[in-house]
Structure 1
Amino acid sequence: MNLLLKEIRHTPLLWLLVFVPVVIILEQMMPHAHTLLFVLAVVAIIPLASLLSHATEAIAEKTGDAVGGLMNATLGNLTELIIAIAALQAGEYMLVKASIAGAIVTNSLFMLGASLLLGGLRYPTQEYNRAGGRLYSALLLMATIALLSPSAIADLDFAGGEIAVQRLSVALAILLMAAYGLSLLFSLKTHKELFASVNHGEAAGPVLPIGIALPTLLGVTVLVALVSEIFVESVQKAAETLGMSPAFVGFIVVALVGAAAEMAVAFSAARRNRLDLSVSIALGSASQIALFVAPVLVLLSYLVGPHPMDLQFWPGAVTMVMIATVVTCFITNSGRSAWFIGALLLFIYAIFAMTLYMIPPGSHGPV
């Protein structure tokens, strides 16, 4: 515990942890100050993400980059899942679908691109195990095809079309979860030797003992969940005040805030030439969102939502996810990277963000 407190004292970013109790208390005292709560919730999640990164680094040192990346992606996606469940209960299906598509695009373009850029600024050329990148890219491609299917039949005019889309969405959800389970079996059990790290890069310096890292992961995850609930309750009203559409909030804002924990670890790993860990976190998180989180939300909508949610996204969202997936397939095929590749990924992400902000999808689209 002393080591953890010492880490907090010597890391200025972690001083922002003071905003965690502040936003929780303020939410009780001023529940209608939505814009203020929104800003404070974002600020509070940043140091929690940093602290989560320190604990995850300790786990990765013991388990290797593949398992460490999977664990970080899973814990990081818990934030997106909590946000999406709260939105489901409120019937904000546009926000839910935008956050799903946005998380896939943000992780595969922004997080991966920024990791390649930050690592490339320090090392002229970086290498990573391309088998992992190929696996995640293949999973993303399959998931994108699954997202295209409900949209393809949505325009067909036949009796019971809406029910057919819902049934198809449930069937696809089960299929995607099965594929995700088999991918874990393949990468962590039957063919785990294919996904060994190319190198371990620089050491992270002193890391937390495993006995401190695990309780820290648990405690920080609980705090992230609490702050995320406040974020969800305030984000819609704050977005209206700031002139942002629900699609932009879900696709950009929720995705970036939800991925803060994973980004902290991915960026740090890239700067230490551990690009395998960065790629595992970025693409592993994107594939987990597509093959596990999205299907779970479809099934949960039958329990907590006002009506069932399907996998029919507006055309622009599917197009952006498809482009991100194709770009990822090209990028990860070589197993080598430089800073300019990361910059190109960030430019593509910026194009998507500007398009959504200036030309939001119409309210008549599927929700």
Structure 2
Amino acid sequence: MRPLLVEIRQNPLLWMLAFVPLVLAAEAIAPSAHTVLFVLAILAIVPLAALLSHATESVAAKTGDAIGGLLNATLGNLTELIIAIAALQAGEYLLVKASIAGAIVTNTLFMLGTAFLLGGLRHHVQDFNRAGGRLYSGLLLMATIALLAPAAVADLELAQGAQVTQKLSAGLAILLIAAYALGLLFSLVTHKELFAAADHGEAEGAPWPLGLAVGTLLVVTVLVALVSEIFVGSVQKAGETLGMSEAFVGFIIVSLVGAAAEMAVAFSAARKNRLDMSVSIALGSASQIALFVAPVLVLLSYVIGPHPMDLQFWPGAVTMVMISAVVASFITNGGRSAWFVGALLVFIYVIFAMTLYVLPPRA
């Protein structure tokens, strides 16, 4: 318990844990104060995501390289997955799809771009391992092609278009999970020497004892689930009050909040000229969302959702994900970066955010 208390005392981000009991109390006292609950839930999820990240890294550090890399890859987006599951249970499928597409775009453009920018402001030119970037970019491109297929089927206006789209989405979900598993096998087992410089994120400090890390992981997962339920329950009314569409909240707000802890590590690594770690975190997280989180949610919708969810995204989301994947492939091909490259990536992200805010998709 002492390492946890020391971490909370030394990390200002974890001081925001005070918002966790606050949002739970507010939900019990004033369940109709949707805007207040929405804001408090966001403030509570950020430190919980940071704790999840640290606990995951500590567990991974105790289990060896292969299993540790697998744990980091599997649990790295646990916050986004829990939020999406809560939205799935509530039938908020537009929010789920927006958060999936937004997480891919946010990690690929905003996280990677800001890391390049911050690192470039301190170091004239930075190098990174191209192998990791090429792998993640290739996986993203394949996942984007998979997202195009249901949209193409829907445009055909078949007699049983909805059923065909659903069956195609279920098949694609299984295929994407298989590709994700093969990608882990390739990078962690058969060709791990190619990714030595871009190994999965190391913890900044000494890892916690295994018992403390596992206990923290379990407790924080439950807290994230409780806060996510409050967040999803208030998001629609709060969005209307604040002038934000459900798609904008999922695409921008949920993505930024869920990835806050990973961003802090990626930005810090870039400033320390450890750009391999930044690229691995940003693009690894994006490819994990596309290849693991999204298909898992499709399969889970058969069990916990009001009805099965498909992989048919609105055209603008597919376009933004495709552009992000192509840009990531182009940027990482050279293995070098400077601050202006990061600025361009951030500008593209801001263009997407402005467009979605002004012109939200139809529900």
Change (3 A) 1:161 1:2: closer
Residue number in structure 1 paired with 2:317 = 317
* Amino acid across the alignment from 1:124: H
CA distance in 2, matches of 1:62, 1:122: 33
Q: Is the 8 A contact 2:66 2:189 kept in 1?
A: no
Q: Does 1:253 align with 2:241?
A: no
| Cα distance per residue 1:133-179 (max 9 Å; x no partner) | 10010000000001111111211133222211111111111111111
> Per the alignment, do residues 268 and 227 of structure 1 end up closer, same or farther by CA in structure 2, a change over 3 Å counting?
farther
Whether contact under 8 Å (1:50, 1:265) holds in the other structure is: no
Higher mean Cα deviation, 45-54 or 66-75? 66-75
Whether the 8 Å CA contact 2:200–2:280 is kept in 1: the answer is: no
Shift in CA distance, 289/145, structure 1 to aligned 2, threshold 3 Å: same
Partner of 2:95: 95
Mapped partners of 1:280, 1:70: distance in 2 = 13
3-state SS, counterpart of residue 196 of structure 1: helix
Using a 3 Å threshold, how does the CA distance of structure 1 residues 301 and 205 change in structure 2: closer, same or farther? Answer: closer
- 1:182 aligns with 182
Q: Is the 8 A contact 2:302 2:309 kept in 1?
A: yes
**Range with greater deviation from structure 2 (338-347 or 68-77):** 68-77
**Cα gap change, 1:128 to 1:113, in 2 (>3 Å):** same
Aligned to 1:172: 172
Q: How does 1:227-238 map to 2 (within 5 A)?
A: 227-238=227-238
Displacement of 1:51 after TM fit?
Answer: 3.4
**CA distance in structure 1 between the partners assigned to 2:350 and 2:137 by the alignment:** 21
Counterpart contact for 1:68–1:277, Cα < 8 Å: no
1:66 deviation in Å? Answer: 9.0
Q: How does 1:112-131 map to 2 (within 5 A)?
A: 112-131=112-131
Q: Which moved more, 1:86-95 or 1:52-61?
A: 52-61
> Helix, strand or coil: the match of 1:349?
helix
Name 1:277's counterpart in structure 2: 277
8 Å contact from structure 2 (residues 56, 75) kept in 1 = no
Structure 2 CA distance, aligned partners of 1:66 and 1:35?
Answer: 44
Distance 1:317 1:202, change over 3 A: closer
| 1:258–1:182 Cα change, 3 Å | same
CA distance 1:196–1:35, change in 2 (3 Å): same
Evaluate the alpha carbon distance shift between residue 60 and residue 127 of structure 1 in structure 2; reply closer, same or farther with a 3 A threshold.
farther
CA RMSD across the alignment: 2.6
For 1:325 and 1:354, locate their aligned partners in 2 and report how far apart those are by CA, in whole Å.
Answer: 20
- In 1, Cα distance between equivalents of 2:187 and 2:198: 15
C-alpha distance after superposition, 1:202-257 (max 9, x if no partner): 99455545554444344333332322222112112111111111111111111112
Instruction: Find the residue that maps to 2:82 and give its secondary structure.
Output: helix
Paired with 2:65 and 2:114, the residues of 1 have a C-alpha distance of 19
Q: Deviations over 1:175-195 (max 9, x none)?
A: 111111111111111111111
Match runs of 1:1-367 below 5 Å: 1-55=1-55, 58=58, 71-72=71-72, 74-197=74-197, 204=204, 208-209=208-209, 212-363=212-363
CA distance in 2, matches of 1:180, 1:311: 17
The CA distance in 2 between the partners of 1:69 and 1:257, in whole Å, is 23
2:239–2:249: 8 Å Cα contact kept in structure 1?
A: yes
3-state SS of 2:197 partner: coil
Post-superposition Cα deviations, 1:90-122, rounded to whole Å, max 9, x if no partner, equal 222211111111111111111111122222222
CA drift of 1:356 comes to 0.3
Q: Tell me, what secondary structure is at the counterpart of 1:197?
A: helix
**Structure 1 residues 82-91 or 94-103, which shifts more?**
82-91
CA distance in 1, matches of 2:73, 2:237: 29
Stretch deviating more after TM superposition (353-362 or 149-158): 149-158
The one-letter code sitting in structure 2 at the alignment partner of 1:308 is: P
Runs of 5+ consecutive residues of structure 1 not aligned to the other structure: none
CA deviations over 1:252-282 (Å, ceiling 9, x no partner)? 1111122223222222222222222222221
TM-score (norm 2): 0.91
CA separation of 1:221 and 1:127: change in aligned 2, threshold 3 A? farther
User: What SS class does the counterpart of residue 362 from structure 2 fall into?
Assistant: coil
Aligned residues: 363
Of 60-69 and 236-245, more deviation after overlay is shown by 60-69
Q: 1:268 to 1:68 in 2, by over 3 A?
A: farther
Change beyond 3 A, Cα 1:93–1:187: same
| In 2, Cα distance between equivalents of 1:91 and 1:234 | 14
Q: 1:294 to 1:112 in 2, by over 3 A?
A: same
Shift of 1:303: 1.8
Residue by residue, what CA displacement relative to the aligned partner does 1:55-110 show, whole Å, maximum 9, x if unpaired?
45556767899976764453342222222222222222211111111111111111
**Could you say what secondary structure the match of 1:273 adopts?**
coil
Where does structure 2 lack aligned partners over 5 or more consecutive residues?
Answer: none
